[in-house]
Structure 1
């Protein structure tokens, strides 16, 4: 028994050493540094921060390096590290209308008040491989974009003036914390949004795509998509007021969706909402579509059986860390379980053979 244990430990140590060697790759090639990952693979870093629920580009870059580029493994590392951090307090709700934006677009209003800012985007590229990047050439600097001055109101607010969209009431009730308490169903919208924000981007994207193809009967327009830096404030009891403790980059998306009305509400537009760390606009858009699909009950709509409308299906399967743990545990030793299954199959085969012989004899 002890021999097997020692042999297992030695094998695991060797596997770790082999992993470190594979992570390093060819020693003749310069090692990839954490600052390089942070600055040049920013979209991967942003995804790890968003799904890991921890805003720290350096730690996210380190996790990506340690995970050899496996973003789900990197998210797992960040969440595990997050559990070791002390909690000193709670920040105030961020004011996204005060965002210093690098990108702001609307698919509903061409002449959006405050203007549209394309910013850094793949939307207008030709999706052709750029072999100049393989030559490690310097990229010419982009023209300096003017910084947004002062608050820029949300575009959906202009629909609100005419009563054409549901009112977005501000709720200052502290939301439940999904990272400290297990999710319970049915969940309120704040809890659902937390779960979707932390959810796997590919899973949320597939659900959003399904709603566009008719599984949920929602047709959305991007009312506004904005990306930029937002100040984070924290109330200091000793001072009696809030102070800025830093800035975070956020992506916010509000979608405008059709609504036929109900007995109490006239026909109007409704909202879907998405908010994530970093520049993660695909996730934010997908999140807003799934958010709207999950609101069918509060809006008095019919449940069509679509996956994106099923709260239990969405929230219980969106988390890639939980899914990975449950999936990958089946590759760990299950020798006893399998032996019992093997004995059962042999017994069933023997009984079937005996029954066949008995029928043949009769």
Structure 2
């Protein structure tokens, strides 16, 4: 229960003005533009788009600026804005096999059709501060084009040809839409993947790390990690076929996991899958590890009690917006509630003291 505070509206208005002043910073320093954020803080923009469930680099950059760099607050802004947008329909599933890749690596096969494409990555950089960046004004030029010459096949197809990896079900029903329907348990794999795709990167990373340390018995290899642009198509009823309406950047990760078989499945490799908006390979890899850990029941494995195997624990706690709302609401006025508890503690202490005196 909250109570009114005299002058509260004026105080809130002043707080908003103070926030705007803090957001701007020193007026003597050039203002950071949305275009600069979009182009130079692209990984932050990608994270906000992924966890906000909306692919729009300009809006994500604007949200980051408005949130003063607080990415969870920026995600909140994007999700709130998303609810105001009209829905014209659904696109057809994207063909990641037709992706124009800028990065594509595999930890399972050295020689791949289409080759390994390192692309823009921190993997081989020295973790040392580059003070040349502080000088500003430099325009680095890549020595050669980073994108592949065309679509490249999935690595998993090499294992699939030999029947060494589980078969993906075909003709599955249309999955529920987590952005329009609340999460319910038990959740099937399509719904779990949606929740993980827009889950907090830090939480999903922590869960994935736990599986690697033995909490979930998931020993995985990155079968393939690819980043690039894919076409988005939408079926137009009046035309009778799908037309391309744009393209988006995606990060896709498929992991290969050891599987000795169970009562219901033969010995084979199994899959973990991650697909994230933008370039976000850490999130995609982590997502694929957690996806595999959550599949223990459908593969006939034993539940070991690992947190990453508990779908209810993972899915209900990976959403940073829900977590933030529940956590931060405790800083709002709870004067009446606290006074009630304060009186209770005082009464209990008084009763305890009275009993002690009576015993003497």
- Does the alignment reach a TM-score above 0.5? yes
2:12 is the counterpart of 1:12: yes
Distance in 2, matches of 1:266 and 1:7, equals 70
Deviations 1:44-90 (A, max 9, x none): 00000000000000000000000000000000000000000000011
Q: Give 1:105 deviation, angstroms.
A: 0.1
Match of 2:93 in 1: 93
Using the TM superposition, name which of 51-60 and 106-115 deviates more.
Answer: 106-115
Distance in 2, matches of 1:345 and 1:265, equals 58
The answer (yes or no) to whether the contact 2:119–2:146 under 8 Å persists in 1 is no
Distance in 2, matches of 1:347 and 1:359, equals 18
The answer (yes or no) to whether the contact 2:199–2:320 under 8 Å persists in 1 is yes
Q: TM-score, normalised by structure 1?
A: 0.97
Q: How does 1:161-310 map to 2 (within 5 A)?
A: 161-310=161-310
Distance in 1, matches of 2:327 and 2:351, equals 34
Q: Any stretches of 5+ residues in structure 2 without a counterpart? A: none
2:139 is the counterpart of 1:142: no
Q: CA RMSD in A?
A: 1.2
Q: Give 1:265 deviation, angstroms.
A: 2.5
Q: Give 1:137 deviation, angstroms.
A: 3.5
Deviations 1:144-167 (A, max 9, x none): 326434431110110111111111
Q: Give 1:170 deviation, angstroms.
A: 3.1
SS of the equivalent of 1:204 reads: helix
Q: TM-score, normalised by structure 2?
A: 0.97
Aligned length: 358
Distance in 2, matches of 1:120 and 1:170, equals 34
Using the TM superposition, name which of 120-129 and 131-140 deviates more.
Answer: 131-140
Match of 1:47 in 2: 47
The answer (yes or no) to whether the contact 2:52–2:198 under 8 Å persists in 1 is yes
Q: How does 1:294-333 map to 2 (within 5 A)?
A: 294-333=294-333
Using the TM superposition, name which of 156-165 and 285-294 deviates more.
Answer: 156-165
The answer (yes or no) to whether the contact 2:256–2:269 under 8 Å persists in 1 is yes
The answer (yes or no) to whether the contact 2:101–2:151 under 8 Å persists in 1 is no
SS of the equivalent of 2:26 reads: coil
Deviations 1:74-125 (A, max 9, x none): 0000000000000001100000000000000000001112101000000000
Distance in 2, matches of 1:242 and 1:305, equals 45
SS of the equivalent of 1:85 reads: coil
Distance in 1, matches of 2:92 and 2:318, equals 27
Distance in 1, matches of 2:118 and 2:61, equals 26
